[in-house]
Amino acid sequence: MKEIKKEHLDELLKEYEQDKACTIARHALSNQDIAVAAASKDAVSKMDFNFDIDIKTASVNNQKASGRCWIFAACNGIRDLIGKKIGVGTFKLSQSYIAFYDKLEKLNYTLEALIETIDKDYDDRTVQFLVQNGIGDGGQWDMLVNIVNKYGICPKNAYVETYTSNNTRILNSLLNAEIRKFASEARQVKAKKGMKGVEELKESYMRRFYRALVSCYGVPPKQFDLKYTDDKGQFQIVRGFTPQSFFEKYVGKRLDEFVSCINAPTKTKPFYKSYTVQYLGNVVGGKIVKHLNLPMERLKELILAQLKDGKIVWFGSDVSSYGDRMRGVWDDQEFDFKSLLDLDIKMDKGESLDFRSSAMNHAMCITGVAFNEKGNPTKWKIKNSWGNDRGKEGFFIMSDTWFDQFTYQAVIDRKYLTKEELAAYEKDPVVLKPWDPMGSLAD
């Protein structure tokens, strides 16, 4: 390893001071954000809110200081489905209800994983992965399906938001501290009392976890009445629902018809094969998180087929790069970090996954698309969950070039897939390691 020598720093400084572009950059950055200084207006005119396909949906929600985007995105489609059935333009579902049971199930799942690995060394990479990651708010499509199939859903007024459901940082920190304590304590108990003692210990932890969640989120409803005013101005009430019966009546098995398709162009993940990730899940005994890897061209074809039928698309992207979150624009052509700082952060998509430069971290819904004269997509309309004071009343735009580089997942109705694609999806999946980038969660 080579050290930094002062003589070399002197040379670098002299070179820097002779470059006028560096002086301009330093002056520009002394009073403003790097992204603001790097923003280019050359492509702004192309990113207006006009689309060839523009599906009308209910208003945008706000996940606030929580990582529940995947739940909010899924609820967008579910509440539109219910709204059409009962004749209501805007129907509100309880995201908090789904989040409560997701967190409870994740805690159980993680403790079971720690028990399963109890005989491994504490510094084994899998054990360290489990204790470092713990549980959080984030999730995947199949994890959403697991929760609603088991626990159902309910209207927002049957299970309202609390301060903690909107602000989860402290609760998550406390729960993860308990998980790490369990990991240590379980090994000590096993040495003294065997696995029966470990199971008893787990039950004591789960009891405390349940009590903490109820205190923070509220008591989950066992029964409720559906009350609403329809689009004709008539008040309606349907009595005696449970969350499960409500889900069965208005949604049923519909969510099971969707397939998670990904674009992971790495050398270790051939296209047209299915994949899962070890220890990625929430419900023990539920369906595994499973993806069908497809080329981006094919993924776009499927997304467009669904949009053309008037159905929005749940999808996952990496929203950490090339974004103006107040204007509501993600466009890699609008930010020139190379000219400003001589930093070229662009990488091949597959390499960016392999070397952890990028991974899916946020789920939203595609509700529209614009085409050029050749019929190719140029930009996509996105329904986000960051409130209606960003973008255009909460809706965002993604350029097609940004979409190619940073979109990793889309959930597609299986009727749009070919027989060959469905057969590949149904095969036993390749099991990826717990830390594979395709195991990242949307939050």
Could you tell me the sign of the dihedral formed by the alpha carbons of 270, 272, 275, 281, in that order?
A: positive
State the catalytic residues: 69, 362, 384
**C-alpha to C-alpha distance for 16 and 233, rounded to whole angstroms:** 69
- How far out from the chain centre does Cα 172 lie? 17
Q: What are phi and psi of 54, to 5 degrees?
A: -145, 95
Give Cα separations from 310 to 76, 77, 368, 420 (angstroms): 14, 11, 9, 25
| CB atoms near residue 408 (< 10 Å) | 27
**C-alpha to C-alpha distance for 76 and 391, rounded to whole angstroms:** 18
The token duo for 391 is 């973008």
**C-alpha to C-alpha distance for 421 and 155, rounded to whole angstroms:** 36
Could you tell me the sign of the dihedral formed by the alpha carbons of 33, 37, 43, 46, in that order?
A: positive
Which stretches within 50-168 are classed as H helix? 69-86, 95-116, 125-133, 141-151, 163-166
The residue type found at 392 is K
CB 146 within 8 Å of CB 282? yes
DSSP 380-421: EEEE-SB-TTSTBTTEEEEEHHHHHHHEEEEEEEGGGS-HHH
Element (H, E) at 370: strand 362-371
110: closest CA among 183, 55, 49? 183
